[in-house]
Amino acid sequence: MALGPFYVADKIKHGVGMRGVALFMRHGETAWNREGRVMGRVPIDLDEEGRAQVAASIPLARGIKPDLIITSPLPRARQSADIIADGIGGVPIIEDAQIAEVQYGRWEGMVYDDLIDDPDYVHYRKHPLETPTPGGETIAQVQTRGVEAVNRAVAANEGRRILFVSHGDIIRTILCHFMSMELRNFRRIRVDNATFSAIQIIGDFAEIKFLNLLPDPGRAFVAPFVSKKSKPV
Protein backbone atom coordinates (compact mmCIF):
# COMPACT_ATOMS: atom_id res chain seq x y z
CA MET A 1 0.00 0.00 0.00
CA ALA A 2 1.00 3.64 -0.25
CA LEU A 3 3.00 5.23 2.57
CA GLY A 4 0.68 8.22 3.01
CA PRO A 5 -1.72 6.36 5.34
CA PHE A 6 1.21 5.45 7.65
CA TYR A 7 1.99 9.15 8.14
CA VAL A 8 -1.65 9.95 8.90
CA ALA A 9 -1.96 7.01 11.29
CA ASP A 10 1.11 8.21 13.18
CA LYS A 11 -0.29 11.73 13.43
CA ILE A 12 -3.62 10.43 14.71
CA LYS A 13 -1.88 8.21 17.29
CA HIS A 14 0.78 10.63 18.54
CA GLY A 15 -0.57 14.08 17.68
CA VAL A 16 -0.81 16.54 20.57
CA GLY A 17 -3.54 19.15 21.02
CA MET A 18 -7.23 19.46 20.26
CA ARG A 19 -8.94 16.61 18.45
CA GLY A 20 -12.21 16.52 16.60
CA VAL A 21 -14.01 16.39 13.28
CA ALA A 22 -15.20 19.58 11.61
CA LEU A 23 -17.92 19.10 9.01
CA PHE A 24 -19.02 21.92 6.71
CA MET A 25 -22.30 22.36 4.89
CA ARG A 26 -23.20 25.24 2.64
CA HIS A 27 -26.81 26.37 3.00
CA GLY A 28 -29.43 25.28 0.47
CA GLU A 29 -30.08 27.21 -2.70
CA THR A 30 -32.18 30.37 -2.79
CA ALA A 31 -33.81 32.24 -5.64
CA TRP A 32 -30.96 34.76 -5.42
CA ASN A 33 -28.40 31.97 -5.97
CA ARG A 34 -30.07 30.99 -9.22
CA GLU A 35 -30.22 34.64 -10.33
CA GLY A 36 -26.51 35.13 -9.65
CA ARG A 37 -27.40 37.85 -7.14
CA VAL A 38 -25.05 38.79 -4.29
CA MET A 39 -26.66 37.93 -0.93
CA GLY A 40 -24.04 38.79 1.67
CA ARG A 41 -25.82 39.65 4.91
CA VAL A 42 -29.26 40.13 3.29
CA PRO A 43 -31.71 37.86 5.22
CA ILE A 44 -32.86 35.73 2.28
CA ASP A 45 -34.93 32.61 3.03
CA LEU A 46 -34.63 29.21 1.39
CA ASP A 47 -37.33 28.72 -1.22
CA GLU A 48 -39.15 25.45 -1.91
CA GLU A 49 -36.39 24.18 -4.18
CA GLY A 50 -33.71 25.04 -1.65
CA ARG A 51 -35.55 23.22 1.13
CA ALA A 52 -35.93 20.16 -1.08
CA GLN A 53 -32.22 20.30 -1.87
CA VAL A 54 -31.30 20.28 1.81
CA ALA A 55 -33.81 17.51 2.53
CA ALA A 56 -32.14 15.40 -0.17
CA SER A 57 -28.89 15.64 1.81
CA ILE A 58 -30.40 14.22 5.01
CA PRO A 59 -29.32 10.61 4.19
CA LEU A 60 -25.72 11.84 3.86
CA ALA A 61 -26.02 13.71 7.16
CA ARG A 62 -27.29 10.55 8.86
CA GLY A 63 -24.19 8.73 7.68
CA ILE A 64 -21.90 11.55 8.84
CA LYS A 65 -23.56 11.57 12.30
CA PRO A 66 -22.78 15.05 13.67
CA ASP A 67 -23.02 15.50 17.45
CA LEU A 68 -23.59 19.25 17.26
CA ILE A 69 -24.58 21.82 14.64
CA ILE A 70 -23.15 25.34 14.65
CA THR A 71 -24.79 27.62 12.12
CA SER A 72 -24.51 31.08 10.68
CA PRO A 73 -27.46 33.10 12.02
CA LEU A 74 -28.55 34.19 8.53
CA PRO A 75 -31.98 32.69 7.67
CA ARG A 76 -30.86 30.54 4.73
CA ALA A 77 -28.21 28.86 6.90
CA ARG A 78 -30.35 28.52 10.02
CA GLN A 79 -33.22 27.04 7.99
CA SER A 80 -30.80 24.54 6.43
CA ALA A 81 -29.50 23.61 9.88
CA ASP A 82 -33.03 23.11 11.18
CA ILE A 83 -33.92 20.77 8.28
CA ILE A 84 -30.82 18.67 8.86
CA ALA A 85 -31.29 18.55 12.65
CA ASP A 86 -34.92 17.49 12.31
CA GLY A 87 -34.03 14.91 9.67
CA ILE A 88 -31.34 13.16 11.72
CA GLY A 89 -33.02 13.28 15.10
CA GLY A 90 -32.84 16.61 16.88
CA VAL A 91 -29.11 17.40 17.06
CA PRO A 92 -28.60 20.61 19.13
CA ILE A 93 -28.01 23.83 17.19
CA ILE A 94 -25.94 26.85 18.19
CA GLU A 95 -25.67 30.09 16.19
CA ASP A 96 -22.29 31.76 15.68
CA ALA A 97 -22.03 35.09 13.84
CA GLN A 98 -18.35 34.43 13.11
CA ILE A 99 -19.33 31.99 10.35
CA ALA A 100 -21.84 34.35 8.72
CA GLU A 101 -21.42 35.31 5.07
CA VAL A 102 -18.90 37.89 3.88
CA GLN A 103 -20.05 41.47 4.35
CA TYR A 104 -20.48 42.71 0.78
CA GLY A 105 -22.01 46.10 1.53
CA ARG A 106 -23.26 47.98 -1.53
CA TRP A 107 -22.70 44.93 -3.76
CA GLU A 108 -25.50 43.09 -1.97
CA GLY A 109 -28.49 42.67 -4.28
CA MET A 110 -26.43 43.23 -7.41
CA VAL A 111 -26.40 40.59 -10.15
CA TYR A 112 -23.23 39.26 -11.72
CA ASP A 113 -23.79 41.08 -15.02
CA ASP A 114 -23.79 44.44 -13.22
CA LEU A 115 -21.07 43.59 -10.73
CA ILE A 116 -18.57 42.41 -13.32
CA ASP A 117 -18.18 45.98 -14.66
CA ASP A 118 -17.97 47.64 -11.23
CA PRO A 119 -14.42 49.13 -10.90
CA ASP A 120 -14.24 48.28 -7.18
CA TYR A 121 -15.21 44.68 -7.88
CA VAL A 122 -12.69 44.42 -10.73
CA HIS A 123 -9.95 45.41 -8.27
CA TYR A 124 -11.28 43.14 -5.51
CA ARG A 125 -11.47 40.21 -7.91
CA LYS A 126 -7.75 40.55 -8.61
CA HIS A 127 -6.67 41.33 -5.03
CA PRO A 128 -9.19 39.78 -2.59
CA LEU A 129 -6.63 39.15 0.13
CA GLU A 130 -5.71 42.82 0.50
CA THR A 131 -8.79 44.65 -0.82
CA PRO A 132 -11.82 45.02 1.47
CA THR A 133 -15.34 44.63 0.13
CA PRO A 134 -17.60 47.71 0.34
CA GLY A 135 -18.75 46.11 3.61
CA GLY A 136 -15.25 46.35 4.99
CA GLU A 137 -13.76 42.82 4.88
CA THR A 138 -10.84 41.30 3.04
CA ILE A 139 -11.02 37.59 2.30
CA ALA A 140 -8.05 37.14 4.66
CA GLN A 141 -10.11 38.65 7.50
CA VAL A 142 -12.99 36.35 6.59
CA GLN A 143 -10.66 33.35 6.87
CA THR A 144 -9.36 34.53 10.26
CA ARG A 145 -12.80 34.76 11.84
CA GLY A 146 -13.91 31.46 10.31
CA VAL A 147 -10.86 29.54 11.50
CA GLU A 148 -11.18 31.09 14.97
CA ALA A 149 -14.79 29.85 15.17
CA VAL A 150 -13.82 26.33 14.14
CA ASN A 151 -10.85 26.09 16.50
CA ARG A 152 -12.88 27.45 19.42
CA ALA A 153 -15.73 25.00 18.82
CA VAL A 154 -13.45 21.98 18.38
CA ALA A 155 -11.49 22.86 21.53
CA ALA A 156 -14.73 23.12 23.51
CA ASN A 157 -16.13 19.86 22.09
CA GLU A 158 -13.08 17.63 21.87
CA GLY A 159 -13.64 14.33 20.13
CA ARG A 160 -17.06 15.30 18.78
CA ARG A 161 -18.25 15.76 15.21
CA ILE A 162 -19.37 19.33 14.65
CA LEU A 163 -21.33 20.38 11.57
CA PHE A 164 -20.82 24.02 10.62
CA VAL A 165 -23.63 25.30 8.37
CA SER A 166 -22.27 28.34 6.63
CA HIS A 167 -21.63 30.01 3.26
CA GLY A 168 -19.56 29.34 0.16
CA ASP A 169 -16.62 31.72 0.42
CA ILE A 170 -16.05 31.37 4.14
CA ILE A 171 -16.07 27.56 3.85
CA ARG A 172 -13.53 27.80 1.02
CA THR A 173 -11.20 29.96 3.13
CA ILE A 174 -11.44 27.65 6.16
CA LEU A 175 -10.63 24.62 4.02
CA CYS A 176 -7.61 26.45 2.59
CA HIS A 177 -6.29 26.96 6.11
CA PHE A 178 -6.61 23.33 7.17
CA MET A 179 -5.28 22.07 3.84
CA SER A 180 -2.22 24.36 4.21
CA MET A 181 -3.23 25.80 0.84
CA GLU A 182 -2.41 29.39 -0.11
CA LEU A 183 -5.49 31.52 0.44
CA ARG A 184 -5.16 33.13 -2.98
CA ASN A 185 -6.34 29.78 -4.38
CA PHE A 186 -9.60 29.70 -2.40
CA ARG A 187 -11.72 30.04 -5.54
CA ARG A 188 -10.37 26.71 -6.84
CA ILE A 189 -12.44 24.79 -4.26
CA ARG A 190 -15.97 23.99 -5.42
CA VAL A 191 -18.59 24.37 -2.68
CA ASP A 192 -22.10 23.70 -3.98
CA ASN A 193 -25.30 24.40 -2.09
CA ALA A 194 -26.31 21.74 0.45
CA THR A 195 -23.03 19.84 0.20
CA PHE A 196 -20.71 18.48 2.88
CA SER A 197 -16.96 18.65 3.42
CA ALA A 198 -15.03 17.21 6.38
CA ILE A 199 -11.67 17.44 8.12
CA GLN A 200 -10.25 15.54 11.07
CA ILE A 201 -8.14 17.77 13.31
CA ILE A 202 -5.34 16.48 15.53
CA GLY A 203 -3.29 19.29 17.05
CA ASP A 204 -1.74 21.27 14.19
CA PHE A 205 -2.45 18.51 11.66
CA ALA A 206 -5.64 18.02 9.65
CA GLU A 207 -6.67 15.29 7.24
CA ILE A 208 -9.27 16.05 4.58
CA LYS A 209 -11.92 13.33 4.66
CA PHE A 210 -13.99 14.55 1.71
CA LEU A 211 -14.88 17.72 -0.20
CA ASN A 212 -18.18 18.90 -1.70
CA LEU A 213 -20.03 15.63 -1.05
CA LEU A 214 -23.50 15.80 -2.61
CA PRO A 215 -26.29 13.28 -3.26
CA ASP A 216 -26.44 14.09 -6.96
CA PRO A 217 -22.80 14.28 -8.17
CA GLY A 218 -23.76 15.54 -11.62
CA ARG A 219 -24.70 18.87 -10.06
CA ALA A 220 -21.02 19.60 -9.45
CA PHE A 221 -20.52 20.00 -13.21
CA VAL A 222 -23.40 22.45 -13.69
CA ALA A 223 -22.77 26.19 -13.60
CA PRO A 224 -24.35 27.71 -10.47
CA PHE A 225 -26.13 30.36 -12.55
CA VAL A 226 -26.29 31.61 -16.13
CA SER A 227 -25.02 35.07 -16.98
CA LYS A 228 -27.16 36.93 -19.47
CA LYS A 229 -24.01 38.37 -20.98
CA SER A 230 -22.72 34.88 -21.69
CA LYS A 231 -25.85 33.81 -23.58
CA PRO A 232 -25.53 33.71 -27.36
CA VAL A 233 -27.29 36.53 -29.17
pLDDT tens figures, 177-213: 999 999 999 999 999 999 999 999 998 899 999 999 9
pLDDT at 232 over 50: no
Looking at the domain 16-215, which fold is it? Rossmann fold (3.40.50)
Which pLDDT belongs to residue 148?
98
pLDDT tens figures, 69-102: 999 999 999 999 999 999 999 899 999 999 999 9
Mean pLDDT is lowest, of 3-7, 51-55, 110-114, for 3-7
pTM summary value: 0.93
pLDDT tens figures, 102-147: 999 999 999 989 999 999 999 999 999 999 999 889 999 999 999 9
Concatenate the DSSP letters of all residues of the chain into one string.
--SHHHHHHHHHHH--S-EEEEEEEEPPP-HHHHHTB--TT--PPP-HHHHHHHHHTHHHHHHH--SEEEE-SSHHHHHHHHHHHHHHT---EEE-GGGSPP--GGGTT-BHHHHTT-HHHHHHHH-TTTSPPTTS--HHHHHHHHHHHHHHHHHHTTT-EEEEEE-HHHHHHHHHHHTT--GGGGGGS---TT-EEEEEEETTEEEEEEEEE-SSGGGGGS-SS--GGGS--
- For the chain, the structural domain boundaries read 16-215
